[in-house]
Amino acid sequence: MTQISWLGEVASKGTAILAAAFVAAALLRRASAAARHFLWTETLCALLLLPLVIWITPSWKIAPAVLLPASQVSEVTTLVVRPHTASPLTIPWLLLWALGAAVAGTRFATGAAYTRRLVRRSAHAGYAATAAAEIARALGIRRKVTVLESEAAPVPLACGVLCPAVVLPRGASEWPATRLVTVLRHELAHIRRWDLAAQALAQVVCSLYWFHPLAWLAARKLRQERERACDDAVLAAGIAPHDYAAELVDLARGLASRRRSWANASAMAETSDLESRVRALFERRNRRPLGIKGAIAIELAVLALLLPVAALKIHAQTPGGGLAGIVVDPSGARVPNAKVVVQNLNGTTQQTIMSDAAGEYRFNGLLPGDYTLQIDMRGFKRARINATVVAGQVSRIDGRLAVGDVSESITVTGVKPPTVTPNVMGTHERIRVGGNVQPVMLVKQTPPEYPAELQQAGVQGIVTIQAIISKDGEPLNPRVLSTNVDPRLIQLALSAYQQWRYKPALLNGEPIETLTKVDIEFTLN
C-alpha cells in the first residue's frame, strides 16, 4: 500500500467514526452534558489510535474486483527485473500532510507557550486560596491547585494538567464572595474532570487531522459540552440559574473587550457559545455527572466501532488497477497455459491465473502498489518480474521465459578384485516443456571405461560435466564442475562424454542450443 492510499484509508475510516459519533451525540441529546463530553473525548481518542489499530488488526476485504476496459490499458516498457521504487506521488502528499500538521501544531503550541508565560508572570491570589482549598476538597481533587491573579487574563481560566492552576483577572479581589465562589467552582470543575487533558488530546487530533473538517467540528463540540458540564456542576452546588447567568454575561463583556485565542486553557466565559449556555441554564435538563457504568458503556461502544472500522478494507475510495501482458518463449512465440501468480510486496494480496491460448494474462481489481509477478511453465525457468499497479490503469508487463537446463547422469560400477566387466547404467531425465518446444533427446551414449588398476586401488567418485548442446546435437565446451575427484577419472569421463550425441531441442521447429549437466559416477560394489 502506498503512503497516499494509506492516508486516504485513515481519512475515510476517520470519517466513519466521526459520523457515528455525531449520530450518537444526537441520540444522547437527553443525556447530561458530561456524558456527551465523554463521548467526544472517546471519539477523539479513537481517531488518535486509528492508524495504529489499522496497522495491527487483520483486514476484512469486501471490495470486489472491477474489470477495467481495454481503453484504460497503458503501454509501458516490458520489464524483466526492475528494482522497487517509491511512487512519485508519495513524497509530495506526505510532505503536504506534514506541513499542515506542523502549522496546526504550531498554532496550539503558541497558545500553550502564551499560557505558560502568563502563569509565570502571575501573582498568588491569597484572598481566594482558602475558598479554593475548601471547594477542591469537596470535589475530591487530590492535586495541588494554585490560584493566581494576572492582569493579562481577561476572564477566569484553568490551565495545567499535572500542575493545575486557576488564573483570575486583575480586580478579582474586589468581587463579591458569591461571584468568587461561583468562578472557583466552575474552574475547579474543569480540573476535577480532567478537561485540560481532553483538550490537549483534541489539539493533537486536530493537528494530525488538520485536513478533516469533521475533526475540527468534533473538537468544537467537545469544548461546548465541557463548559455546559461545568455549568451543571455549578448549578448542582446550589447556585441559582439567574445569578449564574448574570455572572457569565458580565464576565463575557471583559472577554469581548480583550479578545484573544486561548488555545491551551479553559476560559469560563467564551462568547462564541454564550447564548446557548445561558438558555440551557433555564431549561429542564439532565445535569447529573457521568457515572462509572455510563463511562464503561460509552467506552465499549466506541471500541466496538473502532475495531471493525479499522479492520474493514473498503477499496472504493481508491480506484483499482491491473496488470496484463503476454508470456513468450525465447523466439518471441506465445506460451499458453503458463501459471502466472501476482503477489503484493506486503504479502496481503495474491492471485493466480493461467495464460490463455494466445499466451495472454490479465489481473483486475488490484490495489495500487508494488507487486511481484511469478511465471511458471514446465520445461522453462521460473521468471520473476517486479511491477507497479497504478490506480485506474492496467499496466502491461510481458514475461519472457528461458528454456530450462538439461540434466543427464550415468553410473559406472566396478567390483574389487577387478575380475568383472564394468556395468554401465545410465539414466536420462528429459525436459518437459509446453507450447512449441520439443525437448533434447540423447541418441548416443558411450560409457567410459573403468580401468582395473583404478578399481583395485579403490578410486571412485562422481564427475560432473557442464556443456552446451549445439544445434547439431554435439556437446560443446565441456567444463568439469567436480573438484575433489581423481584426475584420471575426470579424463576418462571427458573422453567418453565427447562421443555422446543428442537430438537438439526444437523451438517452433528450429534447433536451439541448450545447456546440459551430466553426472558420471564411478563406484565400486
At 319-374, the pLDDT tens digits run: 678 899 999 888 788 889 899 999 888 766 788 999 998 889 999 888 888 899 99
Indicate whether 51 pLDDT > 70: yes
Domain 321-400 has CATH 2.60.40.1120: yes
In the chain, where the domains are located? 3-64+95-312, 321-400, 406-524
pLDDT tens digits along 368-400: 888 999 999 887 888 899 988 888 788 888 988
| Mean pLDDT taken over the chain | 80
Measured CA to CA in angstroms, residue 476 lies from 246, 248, 296, 374, 513 at distances of 106, 101, 81, 32, 10
Indicate whether 479 pLDDT > 70: yes
Contact 515, 468 (CB under 8 A): yes
For cell 466513519, the residue is 16
Residue with the larger pLDDT of the pair 38 and 255: 38
Q: What would the mean pLDDT of 49-76 be, rounded to a whole number?
A: 58
pLDDT tens digits along 81-140: 333 333 333 456 778 888 989 999 998 999 888 888 988 999 999 999 999 999 999 999
Q: What would the mean pLDDT of 56-75 be, rounded to a whole number?
A: 48
**Buried-state track 445-470, b at ≥16 Cβ within 10 A, e below 16:** bebbebbeebbeeebbebbbbbbebb
Residues 6 or more apart in contact with residue 176 via CB below 8 angstroms: none
Kindly report whether the global pTM for this prediction surpasses the value 0.75: no
Which pLDDT value is given to residue 484?
Answer: 85
CATH level 3 topology of 406-524: TolA/TonB C-terminal domain (3.30.2420)
pLDDT tens digits along 277-298: 888 888 888 888 888 998 899 9
Secondary structure of 488-518 as H, E, C letters: HHHHHHHHHHCCCEEECEEECCEEECEEEEE
Which pLDDT value is given to residue 208?
Answer: 93
| C-alpha cell at position 263 | 488555545
Band (pLDDT 50/70/90 cuts) for residue 416 is: low
Distance CA 333, CA 359 (A): 9
Complete DSSP assignment for 449-467 = P--HHHHHTT--EEEEEEE
Q: What would the mean pLDDT of 399-419 be, rounded to a whole number?
A: 67
Name the least confident of 19-28, 251-260, 349-358. Answer: 251-260
> What percent of the chain stands above pLDDT 70?
81
Residues 6 or more apart in contact with residue 427 via CB below 8 angstroms: 408, 409, 410, 411
What sign does the CA torsion over 484, 485, 486, 491 have? negative
Band (pLDDT 50/70/90 cuts) for residue 175 is: confident
pLDDT tens digits along 211-222: 999 999 999 999
Identify the burial level of 48 via C-beta atoms within 10 angstroms of its C-beta, where 0-12 means exposed, 13-18 middle and 19 or more buried. middle
